[in-house]
Amino acid sequence: MRVVSPLYRFVGALVFATALSILTWFWAVPSVMSQSTYGFLVAFLLGGAGVTLVTWRNAQATGSTAQLLHETEVAGERHGRA
């Protein structure tokens, strides 16, 4: 498991806050964007949310400890570890 340093978390939060503030300003001022841009932005955000959800779901454990132990043993044998 990789631990993310506090600096990376801060930079990620800063980028997220900046993007969120820009998007909030775009959504709050309708004269800035046309309707097609709103449509594209909504489609892009929904697609990104869908990809994030599927990636998160695929990253979860299988739930079976026996399967995890078996896969660990097989991987260890392939790499010459007993």
Q: What is the largest CA-CA distance in the chain?
A: 66
Is the domain of 41 the same as that of 63? Answer: yes
At 37 the pLDDT is 77
- Structurally, the chain folds into a number of domains equal to 2
How many percent of the chain have pLDDT more than 90? 0
Domain limits for position 81: 34-82
For residue 32, pLDDT beyond 70: no
Distance CA 10, CA 18 (A): 12
Supply the Cα-derived Rg of the chain in whole angstroms: 21
- DSSP assignment letter at 5: P
Could you report the per-residue pLDDT of 41-57, keeping only the tens digit for each?
A: 788 888 888 888 888 88
For residue 4, pLDDT beyond 70: no
Is the domain of 52 the same as that of 74? Answer: yes
How many percent of the chain have pLDDT more than 70? 85
Mean pLDDT score across all residues of the chain: 79
Is the domain of 10 the same as that of 27? Answer: yes
